[in-house]
Structure 1
Amino acid sequence: MAQIWLLISVLTFTILQLFISGVLSTTFTFVNKCDYTVWPGILSNAGIAPLSTTGFSLQTGESKTINPPSSWGGRLWGRTLCTQDSTGKFTCVTGDCGSGQLECAGGNAAPPATLAEFTLDGSGGLDFYDVSLVDGYNLPMLVVPQGGTGVNCTTTGCEVDLNGACPSELKVTSSEGESVACKSACEAFGQEQYCCSGAYSTPDTCKPSSYSELFKSACPSAYSYAYDDKTSTFTCAGADYLITFCPSPNTSQKSSSGQNPVASSNTTDINSTMVYEGASDTSSASSLYPWSHMFSSQSIAGVVTIMTAVWRFSQLF
């Protein structure tokens, strides 16, 4: 009898571990608030398996949730002005990953592109994340942690449209002459002082440029150049992440259906809105009760069902 109860206890503990580990897995929820289609792309870091999807389409107002495995690391971005030619080749004016397909299949974002970068379950069990403009900018993006904890667990991103304020020497234009992206100074000029390379490859020698400071002024929490770590890296424990393209209505652009995105002249400082935006986006039960996001009704129901079955089995002895 004792051996049977030991077997039941081990079985129950194992099942609970499986359910809890599944419930605790991180989710990325992509939301498109742009008034044009965005095609997110995803690239895993070297040595890390690709996610189940590496590229998809998000229509205006549409959302999609994916579940990366624990300890996943990589980058996420939005592609714009994408088309498919008569041969089936898929290409995008900004953020193209070079795969020729909807799925990026290991391809990186062609600069300029606004990037969200993640390392899940890193040092100390924390998620590390940032939004980077080091490779330039193509559209507004905001990352909002939900249900997480930590002193530096907060919203980050670039909420404003920088295409309108982009210096002419960095500006990328469409075939119609509209501003659709803004290059980094490294991409535009290829000089070591802008790329933090060669003689400028250390934090002591590579300093912010007038171009990176333009990005930093508009988007204070985003990476603006390679060594912009102190104000641009964030950490959370136990969070899910909401990744929103065009989070503010004042960054509205034209539909991509036969039209190119039009840059907004709005240059509102994100500092004045970040706390409010983050609070607004996380005002769900998960933000009020930080552990509530871990337990979905389906998972709880599954645990209850299995526990009931185990109890009934024990009554046979």
Structure 2
Amino acid sequence: MAHLKTSSYALYFSFLLILLSHEAKGATFEIRNNCPYTVWAAASPGGGRRLDRGQTWVLNVAAGTKMARIWGRTNCNFDGSGRGHCQTGDCGGVLQCTGWGQPPNTLAEYALNQFNNLDFWDISVIDGFNIPMEFAPTRTGPGKCHPISCTANIIGECPNQLRTPGGCNNPCTVFKTPQYCCTNGPCGPTDLSRFFKQRCPNAYSYPQDDPTSTFTCPGGTNYRVVFCPLGAAQDLPIEEMYEIKEVGQEE
């Protein structure tokens, strides 16, 4: 009888594991470069891939993945072994990223199959901005399951103190103070974080900018990340795209 009882428990737990494996689904991310220049896409987890204009990288991510991100690197030069350097978004001088990128870099962040089997995802400019981005579910769902983007001309309008070659830095990287890095408990927006928020209202502009910046979709949703989506500032001619203006300067 004890043997039969043990066997019954084993069958039950095997069935439960199978059921859970079917319920917790991973996600496919379609990463596309619409920019008029090459982007070296990066993903953690996932590695990296060179994307010329119009090219796509399909990334399959396991259920339960969290603290994950996708970003683009610009002005990169890699040798045959995959070692080199990027002007923005560099991840330790390698093509195949195993860690996170160096600011400034526009981020698509996500965690799959979290509370109540929901995916949590966002666009963040907490690490600054280098490429316009759209982050979207391939199908809309209830609540905050809809496309978001950050496509303003942030590089062209970047405040003087945040300017850097190829991008617009975040204030924490530049000043390294608790006020901008939110390292001493609760913190709020600053004038510099508002610069980003006014231009990209759906994006994280400082570390505790949660209420308007976190989005959810049912677990098992697939997503797309587009660099320079239609209508982004980088669709402008190159000489106009990098024209630097003071914040609030009249045309």
Q: Shorter-normalised TM-score: what interval?
A: 0.7 to 0.9
Query: Matched residue of 1:55: which SS?
Result: strand
Q: Which ranges in structure 2 are unaligned for 5 or more consecutive residues?
A: 1-14, 246-251
Query: Matched residue of 2:52: which SS?
Result: coil
Alignment partners' CA distance in 2, 1:150 and 1:242: 18
Alignment partners' CA distance in 2, 1:159 and 1:107: 25
Q: Which amino acid aligns with 1:61?
A: G
Per-residue CA deviations over 1:267-310 (Å, capped at 9, x if unaligned) read xxxxxxxxxxxxxxxxxxxxxxxxxxxxxxxxxxxxxxxxxxxx
Alignment counterpart, residue 242 of structure 1, candidates 224, 228, 235? 224
Aligned-CA RMSD value: 2.9
Q: 1:27 to 1:264 in 2, by over 3 A?
A: farther
Structure ID, larger Rg:
1
Deviation at 1:190, TM superposition (A): 1.1
Given that 1:94 and 1:181 are in contact with CA atoms closer than 8 Å, whether structure 2 keeps it comes out as yes
1:207 aligns with 2:188: yes
Alignment partners' CA distance in 2, 1:157 and 1:102: 26
**Percent identical residues:** 38
Deviation at 1:155, TM superposition (A): 1.3
Alignment counterpart, residue 263 of structure 1, candidates 236, 242, 245? 242
Match of 2:158 in 1: 166
Match of 2:101 in 1: 109
Q: 1:235 to 1:120 in 2, by over 3 A?
A: same
TM-score by length of 2: 0.81
Note the 1:69-84 alignment, pairs <5 A.
69-73=62-66, 74-84=68-78
Match of 2:204 in 1: 223
Q: Which ranges in structure 1 are unaligned for 5 or more consecutive residues?
A: 1-13, 45-52, 174-179, 267-317
Deviation at 1:147, TM superposition (A): 2.2
Given that 2:129 and 2:169 are in contact with CA atoms closer than 8 Å, whether structure 1 keeps it comes out as yes
1:64 aligns with 2:65: no
* Greater fraction strand: 2
Per-residue CA deviations over 1:108-140 (Å, capped at 9, x if unaligned) read 110111111110001000000000011111111
Deviation at 1:249, TM superposition (A): 4.0
* Greater fraction helix: 1
Deviation at 1:84, TM superposition (A): 2.4
Given that 1:253 and 1:263 are in contact with CA atoms closer than 8 Å, whether structure 2 keeps it comes out as no
Alignment counterpart, residue 135 of structure 1, candidates 118, 123, 127? 127
Query: Matched residue of 1:160: which SS?
Result: coil
Note the 1:28-67 alignment, pairs <5 A.
28-44=29-45, 53-67=46-60
TM-score by length of 1: 0.65
